[in-house]
Structures are given as structure tokens and as C-alpha cells.
Structure 1
Amino acid sequence: MFKNKLGKELSLRDYQKNIKRRVFDAWRNHACVMVQMPTGTGKTHLLASVIYDLLSAEPEQCVWIIAHRRELVEQIENTVARYGIRKENGQVRAMSIQWLSRHWNDIHNAPALIVIDEAHHALAESYKELWARYPHAKKLGMTATPCRLNRKGFTDLFDTLVTSDSIADFISEGWLSVFDYASIKPDSDDQKLIDSLSKRSWDGDFQIKEMNAVLNKRPTIERLYESVRHYADGKKGIVYAISIGHARNIASYYSKHGMNAVAIDSKTPASRRKQFVEDFKQGRIQILVNVDVFSEGFDCPDIEFVQMARPTLSLAKYLQQVGRGLRKSKGKEYCMLIDNVGLYRMFGLPIANRDWQAMFEGRLAGKGHTHCIETGYYCAAGNLTANDTIRPNDTLELVMTHDRLPNYLTCVKDCLENRPNHETLNVFKDRTSGLYGLKHGNKITALPQYVSVFDTDDGFAAVRFKNWSVGIVNETGEIKMQLGRFKKLKFLKDKLLAVTDNRGKMSYIDLRSGKSYKQRPKVQIFGKVQMLEVDGICYSRTKILYKKESNMSLQQVCQHGFCLRFYDFLTIPQCRQVDKEDDTSGYDSVCLLADDYETYYHFCGMLPDGSIIVEDHEGKYYLVKEGEGKQYIAREKPQTEEENFDVVIPRLKVEAAQRASQRKNIEKREKIQRRKERLNRIQHAEPFKSGLKWGLKQGDKVIVPPVYRNLQTPVGNYCAFEGNPRQWGVIMLDGKVVVEARYINVEIKENGTARLTIIPGKTKTVKLQ
């Protein structure tokens, strides 16, 4: 605890105290330390406390704080000044790296400590010059995202990484805000536009020129506006745009449709930008549309929504953007994250588990991959979607809601804690022999026995043996793949291995099947099944290989969640059929199973509960249930009655029908219960008007979007609505229509009935659902 210049005591939170202690501990052995803390958890307050302690012990020392943008310098100075450390004192100087690069020779006092704010930018040449000029100064790098798109680590500059708790932990402990997350659907027009982006900029991200050409168009901007109107009408928020023109077009369209929005970019004069920010903080401006201006360092806790309108492959950009909305504020129930560019499908939710140490070391890139939410690093909401609040023609879907988030975080934490060996596999060198071994944390799992270790990934290592051949071993050193003599091995995403021979020529190995390819395969995802595409041919990832031309028609492919089927309309079935009256039973059908990398199968049919029957190449039949793998049930040449296909299948059909019926009843009860709970939560919904249309709100949250000509005050769980002039009907508070709008008047009673006027003088009373 320490005091500011007014004598007021200021204390750090417990997690900040813990990180500060670990920083000083790290400085005992390392001169350069990087700290990772999520956006909104008080990095600047922590560095102010570190500086305060350092200067209290050695008052004559000089401290520099370096930022990569001049806008951040003033903010840092203001925060540090709250702790009695003002720039006028001369002990602490805050400056931008650009200014410092122009004034090396104008500064004569060498710093004892150099603090790098937003240190993930520190790989620039100007920062390397800083290290070269002041090699004896302690270094402290502060960042929320120690990662780079190009997989370049930070170990050339920093000796060690101190990580804080995760975003999920901070939300669970009440330090960061809960959130709703809405993302575009995978089959939406916007997702298809983003999938079409093929050009990359110098840093490996999407090319701005191509993004602007594809997305800076009226229909796309209209969908952006509709998303805000639906999910965040009347709320205060930030929009992240692609380019200056894109930002200005968004702000103009929003303003013309009743939203107080302004655009801020690098060309906005500094004085005007400062005024806009102040007006936004004071509530005089509702929406700031910006181009990379407020990705870092911007502090406005009462932001109620963040809209992502700029595609990116950068994990750092994604987390910096969503982090603007996760600060807590008085009266702020939750933050609405509106993802109009599919970042959720590249990075998962903000609460996903990240391996910062691997990114810091350069073993993992901070890069997203289209159409892929990796379970190793990311976590999707799964069955916690909340699509019951969305109309069928909406392009967005709710993948997480703030009321479901706490339970979800608990489930994820339990899964991580119960998952064995989820620590990163590390390499160590034996100084005596010069050989390398493997370890988890401080536990050695494989003794030093390798000439070199090229790479590690998910419990496996690519190594060179003493005989100079190379291969893949698991964490205990067990050889999983021997490859002969090669120059280099490198693990790639999706369980692919890049192999470079002694002439520098590269080839690729599928670690699932063991098959080698001369060109890098492109991963094709069909539900939970993957295939590899090379030169127009799709290959299965099974040891017994199946291949198919990639230009298959939709009629030839059928996805069924845990399996993938390919029809051959010119070939009769190669196995027995469960149901010969099935429309597809007259054709041969090859089947690939999720998480089965041994072989492909012939499809025999589907049972009433969705499970399937397949046959392998040895004439054995299996029952396959989703999430349970395959179970042997019969064979082509049975040795016992229990292995006879014609005996087993009728019994399995009956059992599957019973399971299907039970599951249907359970789902029906659960659906009714969920709906009942939702109606109870929104019983105080009230009509509101937007433009010429009416909808329902509870507080600031839109329950039913404004699509009706008129609405009456709700009675119980019901509300009368006017669709067309003098055509009234009844909806429930969640928007479900229970009485079509074709009556000239509707009167809802407290007892759950409604009196409907068909024509003047002629009425009828109906019992509502």
C-alpha cells in the first residue's frame, strides 16, 4: 500500500500484488521481464506501483516508460501522476518510441528501468535499438497479448514471461464484465464474403484494400446497423472498422438512422479527436466508429457494446478489441459483443484458454484460422447457444449470454483441471552430454537422448536421434514415427508435419494417416470429420486411405455430425443394408467416422435414434453412436447366433426406437422448461417504439425487435399486436405468435384467455397456450 501526493492511501488488488511480487522475484535472475495481463485488469496501475517501489528504494534512479503511440503517453502520465509520480519530477519520463528514435542524442541520463507499454509491439527495429543502447537497464514489458501473427517469439528481448489469471478467471472473480456474444452464422452472406478474402498484407493479416473493396458496401453496412439495432439499441459502444472510408460510411449511415455516431481515424485532428473522446465518455456521443485508434490503451469502463466490423487473423487485435468492453462499470449489467465478421469461428470466445508461454517463445502463432475453433486453445459455447431469441432470417446467432456464462465458465474450468497432462511439453538441455530431453513443467518425462529437438506440439516432439535420423516421439520418448535422414521438421496446424530434406525441398506428412504429400494439403472440414485436399483430390485421414475428387456435387456428400458419407450412384451396396426401403439403400455409400483414423467403412444404414451401422474391410459390422465410438455387433460369416446380422439388427432397431422416443420426450420437457424460465425473466417487458415500428423491451434489453405496427401493454405472458392496419393478433413476450393477426380487435384477459373481435358485434373467446 502506498500514498499519492495528497496522502490518500492506494492499494493494489490481490492479483496485482501477486504479479508485482513475481516481477521482483524474476528480476533477481533476469534483467528483462514481460508481464501478460488481460485488457481492463490494471496494467498501468501495476507498473505505477512497481515504479513507486523502485524509486522509494533508490530515489536517484531514472525510469522511462515507452509507448508505441503518442496518444498512450499522455494517458500513462495521467495514471502515474495519481500515485504522486509526475513528469515534472524528472525521475520518470513517458515518451513514444517514435519520438525517442529521433532524439537518442538529446538524452543524457541512462535509465535504471525501462517499461514498455503494449510490449507485443517491441519486435520493431526501434525497440531493438533501445536494448542495444541501454543493455544494463532493467526492462519490464506490459501486454495483454504476448503473441505475433508470424509466430515470432519475444525471447530475443525478454528473458521470461509472467502470466496473470485468464479472462475467464477475472470474469468469475468479478473483476471483468460478463458478456453476450453474437456472431454471424457460418452460412451467412457476410461469412461467405470473408471466406472469399485471399490477399494478405505484409504482417500476414487480411489485406485492407481487399477487405475494403469487399465489405465497404451499402448492404453490408445495413446489416451492421441492423445488428446494433437488434442487440444494442440505445447502448453506448465502439465499432471497429476496416478503413477510413469504411468508418465514415458506417458513422454516416448510423447517424442518418437515429444513432449518434462519429468516425475517428488517423486523419482526425488531435483536438477534435480529444473532444470526440470526451463527448463519448460524457454520453454526448453514443457510438465511436474507429480505425485502429482504440484497439489499445483506451479506457472507458461504461462501454456497453463492441461491434467488430473488421476481419482480422490477429489474435492480439481480436482480444484488444473485445477487451474494450469487458471493463466493469457501475450500472453496467453486461457488455454486448457483436461479431459481424466471424472472429468467433477463428478465435473462439474471449474466455478461451490461451497458451501464452508457447506464443511468447514463438512455438505458437497468435493467428486465427478460418472455419476452425480449436479445442486445444479455443472453446465454443456448444449447446449453450441461445438461438431462441433470434428470428429465422437473422444473419447472427447468440453463441453466449451473460446469464449462462458463469455456469459455462465453471464447466470449462472443471474440464481443464481434470484433463491430464495439459501442461506444455518443454525441451531442456543436459550441459554434460549436450543432448536434449523433454519435460512437463519441472518433471522430466524423457531423459536427454536427442541431438536436437526441432519442435513440440500437443504432447509430441520432432527430434533428431543420435544416428542423425529424425522422427516423432511422445512425451515419454516412445518413438511414434521414424523418418530417416532429413534436415528439418516442423509441426503445422491440423496435425500436419513439414519435412525439409537435405536439399532444402519440403514435403508434408499427415500425422493421422502417415501419408506423405509433395504439396501442403488444404484441410477440408465436414462437420466433425476432416479430409485433406491436394491437386483436386480429397484424401481421408485414415491409415487405410480413401480418396475422392474434390469437385463432388452436394448429392454425393452427406454430413451427419460424427460421420461423413459419400454416395456412388453407379455401384450397388458393398455391404448388408439395415433398411432396404431407404431411398439410399440401392447405392454404395462409403463412410468416414470422426476421430477414427484407422480405416474407412461401408455404410449399412441409420437407426431411429441417429446411430449408424457400418462394415469394415474384414466383414465386421459396428454400431456407432455419436461421442461413444464404435461397438462390434456382427460379422459377415458369424460363428455364433449373437454375431448374425439378421438377428442383431431387429433388436437394435427396437432399442434405438425406445432411446429416440425417450430423448424426444426429454428434449420436449427441457424446451418447455427453458421457455417457461425465459418468460418468467421477461415478465416486466414493455412496448417501445423505434421509427414507425413497435417492439418489446425489458430495461435496456430488446426482447422483441420493433417490427409491429402497434403493441398493447402486455397482460401476463401475452401481448396484443397489430400487423397490418386493423389486423390484430397475440404474441407471447418472447415473440412467438399464438394468434394470427386477422382480427379487428383483441382483448387479453388475466385468466389466460383472449376475446377476439371478428367483425363488429361478432366475437369469440379462445384459450391462449
Structure 2
Amino acid sequence: MLRPYQQNIKHNLFEAWRQYPSVMVQMPTGTGKTHLLASVISDRMMADDTASVWIVAHRRELVEQIEETVARYGISKDDGRVKVMSIQWLSKHWEDVKDERPGLIVIDEAHHALAGTYRELWLRYPNAKKLGTTATPCRLNRKGFTDLFDTLITSDSIADFIRQGWLSTFDYVSIRPDSEEQRLINGLERRGADGDFQVKEMDTVLNRRPSIERLYESVRQYADGKKGIVYAISISHARNIAGYYNQYGMNTVAIDSKTPANERKRLVENFRQGKIQVLVNVDVFSEGFDCPDVEFIQLARPTLSLPKYLQQVGRGLRKTEGKESCMIIDNVGLYRLFGLPTAHRDWQAMFEGRLAGKGYPEANTRAVSYMALSQGTDKDKTAETDGQLETIVSHGQLLDYLQSGKSLPENDSLQPEKLRPFKDRASGLYGLKRGNKITSTARYHSVLDTAEGLATVCFDNGQTGIVDESGNVRMRLGRCRSTKFMKGNILALTGNNGRKTYMDLLSGQIYNKQPRIRQFGPVQILEEDGMYYSRTKEQYKIRKVSGCHIFHATSSCLLVYDYYAAPVCRQVNEDDARWGHDCVCLLANDYDTYYRYCGMLSGGSIVIVDNVGKYYIVEEGRGKKYIACENPKTADENFDVVIPRLKAEAARRTNMMVAEERRANERKRMARLEGMKAVVPFKSGMRWGLRQGDKVVVPPVYRNIQLPVGYYCAVEVSPCRWGIIMLDGKVVVEAGYSKVVINGDGTARLTVFPGKEKVVELGT
């Protein structure tokens, strides 16, 4: 049975095949790509019993594994309709299969499909449907896959799969940025034919006893007694590591391309059964290797390849019973190049070739700071230094953070960079990119300037325009010699005649002089040559006259009172019209038009009208809402019907809010009084007050105070002039009685003069 996410991807795949003959599917390592493709093949063969399917693997070692998986779906290699072969075998035996016509070709580990040997499949079998599966649809050289595959289907992220319980959580430790190992790696300068670090130089620098000793100490400290895989640089490096680990009692074997197939199979089986603790390999177990109970992964090979990094750490993320988490020991600082395995990846941009699946060495030279994943003390911070390694995240912190629904913070080196132009050498045209990601392909004659998310570009016809980072044209500007983005969304333009003008990018309005930005609460207006201008497409402007305009800002709008103009709209309250002046309303973040102010409702909401007679109510934090118009079709849009109803509703809500606020304040006060029952009278000089412990509650201002009864105290202000206060000092009964007796039932007996008394109920 397929898991729910596999069923969803399978459904999306068959839907995509309705439109596209060639589809690539991305799924993280350990989430069952082979099971998915086996189920897809099984369904296809059930629908067409004459169908012929080829499964093409990147390496011979993967063929047998794929055959075993598809056999679970009743597809035997003896059936004849399904063939599993390596691309190496196929490239040498085209003649042997020239008469076959596969209806479906599945390419496993399809990120290798750009090689010429794979392209033959498209040339020889153009009518066959294609399915490519991979965890990492990207290349170091930023070559996309769109020449081969028509579309990409992506699954959930590694973070999602861990959150949902399909992949194992992990602990991650790495060398410190200032460590000796990192210094050696930062010094690597040579590159191989694939663009990665040159193996020979890496081997020379890191295949030395001090580095291997540090590798061993890392395993002993963080994964002692655990079962794991080490990724080495070269055959010699792998064998030296295995020899050193064995020397110190760690049962370890090295496997590489020179290990005989039968011997390799035996060693792997012993590893599965726990007879071998550690496997050291050179690019053997990066793809397709399935051993869920791997407890640690050690990265001992520097790489610039994102696929290599994710394929390697992915070997430890498979789940199995009794496995709490996986320990990832990064002895070559790869997380500073790529982020944690759970970091966000823009697979679509890599699939299209707009972003390379590559790390950049300069990232390792920058300071990297991860946010703490918990809210604890300084001792609970995410990055804890311990000897030569630092803890980047523990599995407990990681799981808590993922289950909170948040995305993991990226490290500083992976944060989006500024939008910048780049030149394509082949065409001579310019495009836009952010960091290493191309956001707009090369299509412009020149790029004049860039700002956050925008660029001014020159098209082939000599015209200038503003585009967003994806290349969508926002505005055409005509012919310009130069442009400059300025603060406050102002664009300076210099025409071919040398004349300079200024454009408000929010409204599109042009000014002959650089306008001054005036900020009033949440709204900006522009001041230029003695005039005020709204930053709206439908522009409001008034002459600057000292003392004749009042700007009143609220949290959601700006009101501009014009004492030289009469009201031009209906008023909510008739009293407002008596002022005899106009008032314009500019809404925060509304750059389309300005409004006339009609008045305020109880509670602070305001009513405004636009220039075509539509009325809106603006409530705090909710923006504007249409309520009426000048030419209503129904009573529900009639100003004279709607406004009285809104006023009544607003008054009712305001009264309810005032009453509730009064009740809330009273509850707080009563709770405060309850905590004051321990107050006692105290004397300072000739006067009395109340205190609780060392805290003075009521200052000593009374001639006398009796002991409290409940929340009340009888106090004497002057001779024979008694009154009642509460414990917090609030006067309940004004002083003026010759005697006061407070009862326990909340009443008091007051003596006006001997022989005349009255009983009152004490309120709060």
C-alpha cells in the first residue's frame, strides 16, 4: 500500500501525463521513490497488458535493488514486459534492443539525465512517456532539465516529512568556523571537471593522520557504539579511516569501486545484521542504499554539490523501529554551504536552471548565526561549542520547532541577497538575479538601476521600463539616458535631452523637482514647489498656506482639513456641517484615490466617499468596506437608510464596550482589594494611614482610622467628622458624621447627631 503522500504524487503524475509526455518527480531520500515508480508501472501494466516498460538506473548496483522492489508488486524480471538496466549497459547494447518500443521509460536518479547517454532515450524513443525520479533536481553547472522533462512535480519538504513522522529527526554537529579543519577546507582552490572540489587536492590536504584522528574523536564523542556510514574523499582516504578506526576498537570496513561485487554484497549484509559497526565508502552509498537503522552519518568529504550533500545525509533519515534519531557529524562544515537538511530548497528554480544546486566557498568565511530554537536560557542556545565541534541543533529542539508549525531559520549565508543585473556572455543581453538565483533571464539591452524587487531596464527598441524581479513589466517610461531609485519610492529620470524629472513609484505621478516626503502617521504626502500632493493615482493637491490646513493622523488614515473650501459631500452628523469646511481622507496603503470625509461614528469608525459617489466605512484595523452609493438600486445602498442604522449599531457597540470596560475595571479593583485585607492602620506623627507590610497603601492624612471591616475603614478627618473609605483609599462616604459603625453585611450606620441615625449600603 502506498502512503498518502505517495498516492497524492501518483495522482498528480497521471494528471500531468495528460498534458505532458515527460515528467520529473522530486521526493526526498528515504520517502519511497522506488515504491512509487513500481506502483505506477503496475497500474500501467494492468491498464495495458501489452505495455513495455524500461527502468534505467544510474549504476549497475541499483539494478538489483530496483528489481527486488518492483517484484513486490508482482512484476518479475522474468516477465519480459519490464526491463531494469543500467545506463552503462544500455549505451553499449543499443543494437540488442533496437526492435523494442517501450511505452514508458523510467529514469531513476534522474538528476544524471543530462548526460549524453540518457539523451539517446529521447532521440530513439520520442513517443514513449518518460518519468524521472530524483531527490535533487539540480546540477552544479546550473543546467536545467527543461530540454528533457516538460514539468516538475515536487513532494513535501524534508522538514514536512520529519514533522509528519515519515523521516527521522536528527542531531547535527559541525566543525567550528575557526577550526583547523575549516581553515584547510577554505584553502581548497582547484576544481574538477564537474565544478566540485578537485579530489586530488582534497586528498592531499585532508588525507592526513591529524585530520583522521579528529574524525575518529568526533565519532567516539558523539556516536560511540552506534552504527553508521562515513563518506570519504578517495579510496586511500577511506582505507586510512577504516584502518585507524579499527586500530582503536571500532569495527570498520572500507568499500569502494574496487571492492569485488560479491565481497561488497557480503560486507553490506554483515553491516545490515550489525556484524560491522561502520562502513566507510567513496560515493558508493550516496544513492539507492537502503539501511534504515543507520544511526549516524559522518561527512568527511568536502563538496560543493547540493545533491551529494542531501543524498549523503538522507541515508540516515530513514525511520525504523527503535531508532530515536540520527546523529549527523559534519567534519567538513557543509551546513554553512547548504543549510541544515531541513532548509527550504527552490526546486522549481533549479529544475528550470535559474539556480545552481551548489554551495559557495565564500559562505564558509562569513559569520553564521542560527537562531535559538527554544526560548530557554543562554545555556539552551542552539549552537553550543564542545571541543572541536559545535552543536547546531539537537533532535529534541528540531522536533519541537517543526511541530510548532514554523520553518527552520536559515543561516545568514543563505538569506536572500540584493537584486542585481548579470550579463549573458553568449547573447550579450542582461538579466536579473538574487544572489546565485536567476530571477529574470537575459533579455534586456541594459539594466540601468535596481532596487528591492524592481529594476529599470532598456529594451531592444531603446525604450526604458520598470520591471519586477521576475521580468514582468510594471511601467513603460519612454526613452531615458539614466535612472536612479531613491529613498521613499521615488525614481529619478534623466531624459535623452538631459532634463531631470522625478516619478512617484506609488502613484506614477511626475514632478519637475525632487519632492519632499512628509510623514503623517501611516500616510505619506509629497511637498513640491509650495504644493501638497497625495501619493495616489487619482491625485489630490492643495496649496501650502500657513495656518489654513490641519493634518490629523489616525492609525489607519490621514485627514486633511481645508478651511478655504466648503464641504462637498454629505455628513454623517449634521453638527459636522456647521464648521463649513472640506475634509479629505487619505487611507494608509491605498494608492488608487483619495476620499472625502463624511464624519465619525460612535466608537471611532469613519465614513468616507470616493469621487464617484460610493460610500465606505473604515474601521480600525479592518480597512474600508462599501456601505452605500449616491444612486442606490435598493434600500440597502441608500445613504439615508444605511447611516442611521450604522449610527445606532455603533452607539450600541460603544455602550456595550463602555459597560464591559467598567465591569472589567471593577473586577480588577475588587481583586486588588481582596489582596489588601491584611492592611492595618499605622500612625506617622499625628496622622493615620493604612499599610500592608512595609508598603503604604493609604498615606497618613487622617486624624484617626478604625480597624478595617471587609473592604472598608471608618476614618476621622477632623474632630467628630467621620466618613468611610475603601482599603485602597477611595472615599465611599464623605466625612461629616459624629459616629460611624460598619456592619459585616456591607451596610453602615451613620450618626448625623445624637438621636438621629441612618443606615446606608456601601457601594464600591
Does 1:76 find its partner at 2:50? no
Q: Find the aligned partners of 2:476 and 2:172 in 1 and give their Cα distance.
A: 41
Aligned partner of 1:314 among 291, 300, 305: 305
Are residues 48 and 105 of structure 1, via their aligned partners in 2, closer, same or farther at CA, if it must alter by over 3 Å?
same
Which of 164, 176, 180 is the matching residue for 1:173? Answer: 164
Cα separation, 1, equivalents of 2:256 and 2:478:
54
Q: Are 2:174 and 2:330, in contact at CA under 8 Å, matched by a contact in 1?
A: yes
Which residue is 2:231 aligned to?
240
Cα deviation code 1:28-78 (max 9, x no counterpart): 010000000000000000000000110000010100000010000000000
In the alignment, structure 1 residue 87 sits paired with structure 2 residue 77: yes
Instruction: Quote how far apart the aligned CAs of 1:474 are.
Output: 2.3
Kept in 2: contact 1:120–1:146 (CA 8 A): yes
Output aligned runs, 1:396-435, within 5 Å.
Answer: 396-410=389-403, 413=406
Partner of 1:207: 198
Gap change, CA 1:389 and 1:366, over 3 Å in 2: closer
1:171-570 aligned at under 5 Å gives the runs: 171-372=162-363, 380=370, 382=372, 394-410=387-403, 413=406, 459=453, 464-465=458-459, 467-468=461-462, 473-475=467-469, 477-478=473-474
Shift of the 135–485 alpha-carbon distance from structure 1 to 2, 3 Å rule, reads farther
* 1:30 matches 2:20: yes
| 1:14 lines up with 2:4 in the alignment | yes
| Aligned partner letter, 2:17 | W
Query: What is the alpha-carbon distance in structure 2 between the residues aligned to residue 313 and residue 116 of structure 1?
Result: 24
Aligned to 1:97: 87
Alignment of 1:145-156 (within 5 A): 145-156=136-147
Cα distance change on mapping 1:96 and 1:457 into 2, 3 Å: farther
Cα distance per residue 1:362-421 (max 9 Å; x no partner) = 00000001253899xx994556697889996611101010000023225673689xxxxx
1:89 is paired with a residue whose SS is coil
1:207 and 1:324 mapped to 2: Cα distance? 24
> Aligned partners of 2:79, 2:96: CA distance in 1, in Å?
18
Distance change in 2, residues 1:184/1:85 (3 Å): same
Cα distance in 2 for partners of 1:460, 1:37 equals 34
Letter in 2 for 1:41: T
Spell out, residue by residue over 1:158-178, the C-alpha distance to the aligned partner (whole angstroms, 9 max, x if none): 000000000000000000000
Whole-Å separation in 1 of the counterparts to 2:128 and 2:466: 42
Shift in Å at residue 220 of structure 1? 0.2
Answer whether contact 1:168 1:409 (CA < 8 A) is retained: yes
Structure 1 residues 452 and 160, CA, compared in 2 at 3 Å: closer, same or farther? Answer: farther
Q: 1:403 to 1:415 in 2, by over 3 A?
A: closer
1:133 equivalent to 2:127? Answer no
Q: Distance in 2 between matches of 1:123 and 1:483?
A: 43
The answer as to whether partners of 1:359 and 1:365 remain within 8 angstroms in 2 is yes
Give the whole-Å Cα distance in 1 for the aligned partners of 2:74 and 2:235. 39
- Give the number of aligned pairs: 454
Once residues 383 and 34 of structure 2 are traced to their aligned partners in structure 1, the CA distance between those partners, rounded to angstroms, is 40
Q: Per the alignment, do residues 373 and 386 of structure 1 end up closer, same or farther by CA in structure 2, a change over 3 Å counting?
A: farther
Shift of residue 464, structure 1, vs aligned partner: 4.9
Q: 2: CA distance between counterparts of 1:336 and 1:255? A: 21
Contact kept in structure 2, 1:146 and 1:359, CA below 8 Å? yes
Shift in CA distance, 152/386, structure 1 to aligned 2, threshold 3 Å: farther
The structure with the largest alpha-carbon Rg is 2
> C-alpha distance in 2, partners of 1:383/1:187?
23
The question of whether the paired residues in 1 share the 8 Å contact of 2:372 and 2:382 is answered with no
- Aligned residues of 2:370 and 2:382 also touching (Cα < 8 A): no
Aligned to 1:39: 29
Q: Distance in 2 between matches of 1:195 and 1:339?
A: 15
For 2:338 and 2:463, locate their aligned partners in 1 and report how far apart those are by CA, in whole Å. 37
How far is 1:109 from its partner?
1.6
Letter in structure 1 aligned against 2:402:
L
Alpha carbons of structure 1 residues 390 and 461: separation in structure 2 relative to 1, 3 Å: closer
Q: 2:354, 2:233 → 1: CA distance?
A: 29
Which of 383-392 and 178-187 deviates more? 383-392
Contact 2:371/2:382 (CA < 8 Å) preserved in 1?
Answer: no
1:69-90: CA deviation from partner (whole Å, max 9, x where unpaired): 0000000000000110001000
CA contact (8 A) 2:136 2:307 kept: yes
* Cα distance in 2 for residues equivalent to 1:361 and 1:145: 13
Distance 1:457 1:88 in 2: 62
CA shift digits 1:713-761 (9 cap, x unpaired) = xxxxxxxxxxxxxxxxxxxxxxxxxxxxxxxxxxxxxxxxxxxxxxxxx
Calculate the TM-score normalised by the size of structure 2. Answer: 0.55
Contact 1:349 1:379 in 2 (8 A): no
Cα distance, 1:465 vs structure 2: 2.2
Whether 1:163 and 2:157 are equivalent positions in the alignment is no
CA contact (8 A) 1:471 1:484 kept: no
Contact kept in structure 1, 2:384 and 2:390, CA below 8 Å:
no
Contact 2:343–2:408 (Cα < 8 Å) also in 1: no
Deviation at 1:325, TM superposition (A): 0.1
CA distance in 2, matches of 1:140, 1:379: 40
Match of 1:61 in 2: 51
Q: 1:481 to 1:100 in 2, by over 3 A?
A: farther
Shift of 1:478: 4.9
> 1: CA distance between counterparts of 2:444 and 2:21?
30
Q: Provide closer, same or farther for how the CA distance between residues 73 and 164 of structure 1 changes in structure 2, counting only shifts above 3 A.
A: same
| Amino acid in structure 2 at the alignment position of 1:400 | V
Distance in 1 (CA, whole Å) between partners of 2:308 and 2:371 is 21
The residue type paired with residue 79 of structure 1 is T
What CA distance in whole angstroms lies between the structure 1 residues aligned with 2:211 and 2:336? 19
Rate the CA distance shift 1:195–1:82 in 2: closer, same or farther, 3 A. same
Name the CA distance, whole Å, in 1 between partners of 2:481 and 2:235. 53
Superposed displacement of residue 247, structure 1: 0.1
Aligned partners of 1:168 and 1:139: how far apart in 2?
A: 29
Evaluate the alpha carbon distance shift between residue 328 and residue 63 of structure 1 in structure 2; reply closer, same or farther with a 3 A threshold: same
Is the contact between residue 40 and residue 323 of structure 1 (CA under 8 Å) also seen in structure 2? yes
Q: 1:47 to 1:252 in 2, by over 3 A?
A: same
Change (3 A) 1:415 1:247: closer
Structure 2 distance, partners of 1:200, 1:189, is: 21
RMSD of aligned residue pairs (Cα, Å) = 3.9
Corresponding residue SS for 1:49: helix
Q: Secondary structure at the match of 1:413?
A: coil
